[in-house]
Amino acid sequence: MKKILVTGALGQIGTELVVKMREIYGNENVIATNRSSRDGHILVETGVFEELDVTDAQSVHDLCKKHNVDTIIHMAALLSATAENNPLLAWNINMGGLMNTLEVARELNCKFFTPSSIGAFGPSSPKVNTPQDTIQRPTTMYGVNKVAGELLCDYYFHKFGVDTRGVRFPGLISYAQEPGGGTTDYAVTIFYEALKHKKYTSYIGAGTYMDMMYMPDAVNSIIDLMEADPAKLKHRNAFNVTAMSFEPEQIAAEIRKHIPEFTMDYDVDPMRQAIANSWPDSIDPSAAIEEWGFKVEYDLPKMTADMLAQLKAKGIK
């Protein structure tokens, strides 16, 4: 990768991904784009930034050509809970934006990455150690978008030879960017509330296991996959990746090791709980390990310690 354009760069993943990529590839070689700018945002202040609406196909094409891009990292999307509240908008952004960026990748011969999600699985998928290749019948608009996106990326590889790659992310936990409307966001908000108020009310019920990953591991997985030897990639798109699986009581217990007075109660949100119930408890990342050496550094205890330390350093207390 020499000249990289990232859509949705001011979102949860994009913020940390662009910072890391700029360290590796140079500030001038990683173009951050977002539908709107934000004054003072680190990505706007430290390198090339452009406003971009991914539903505008011509704008996507013109911007990639302007910067002589050879790699597109497509992150712009509406997340699961937000998508359920506005399914038509989710379809237009998630699928329209994906189609537009894939077309530009085809026209300009760019490498292409977009993330899928554990949301691509559904109630009929195996719940424990969910395989790489298994039944996928999601019951959310977000999940439908993700399955369609996985198939579309495969199609562009087989039909047009576009070098498409992707992973199925679990819930992602980050200190750099606040949550953006996902079902797993409770596992980020809980840290803010623990530091600010020493208590948290979870909208996800006790005993609800979901796969999670700390953002530094997620960012590294994108870069590792994009730098991997394409000849070794049998699946290319939608690799299962994960670092840990836990339920709310377990993360609360880990936080209490650092904040003993922390308490948690529940006010379950039926919509987000239904989404969580449709997802796997744990997934099998063996294909990613075998095909491109996927690995993680953070488990639940190590992530909890770092997350609290980083938020304190940001002044959250």
**Edge-to-edge strand order for the sheet containing 71-74?**
49-51, 30-34, 4-7, 71-74, 111-113, 164-165
pLDDT band at 81 (very low <50, low <70, confident <90, very high): confident
What crossing angle do the helices spanning 12-25 and 215-227 adopt, rounded to 10°? 50
Residues 237, 310: Cα–Cα separation, whole Å: 32
Does residue 80 have a pLDDT over 90?
A: no
Does pLDDT of 57 surpass 90? yes
The alpha carbon dihedral of 53, 58, 63, 69 has a sign of positive
Backbone angles phi, psi at 58, to 5 degrees: -65, -40
Edge-first strand order for the sheet with 116-117 is: 116-117, 167-169, 239-240
Catalytic residue flag (residue 203): no
Question: Which H helix or E strand runs over 171?
Answer: strand 171-173
pTM of the predicted model, to two decimals? Answer: 0.94
C-alpha–C-alpha distance, residues 221 and 269, integer Å: 31
Question: What average pLDDT does the chain have?
Answer: 95
Q: Which two tokens stand for residue 293?
A: 């050496």
Res. 273: pLDDT tops 90: yes
Relative to beta strand 164-165, strand 111-113 is parallel
Sign of CA dihedral 38, 41, 46, 49: negative
What is the Cα–Cα distance from 308 to 254, expressed in whole angstroms? 11
Is 180's pLDDT higher than 80? no
Tens digit of pLDDT for each residue in 13-56?
999 999 999 999 999 999 999 999 888 888 998 899 999 999 99
- In DSSP notation, 177-243 reads S---S-GGGHHHHHHHHHHHHSEEEESS-TT--EEEEEHHHHHHHHHHHHHS-GGG-SS-S-EE--S
DSSP state of 77: -
Structure tokens at 100: 């537009």
Name 11's bridge partners: none
- Choosing from 25, 142, 203, 298, which is the catalytic residue? 142
The pLDDT, as a whole number, for residue 40 is 83
How sure is the predictor about 165, in pLDDT bands with cuts at 50, 70 and 90? Answer: very high
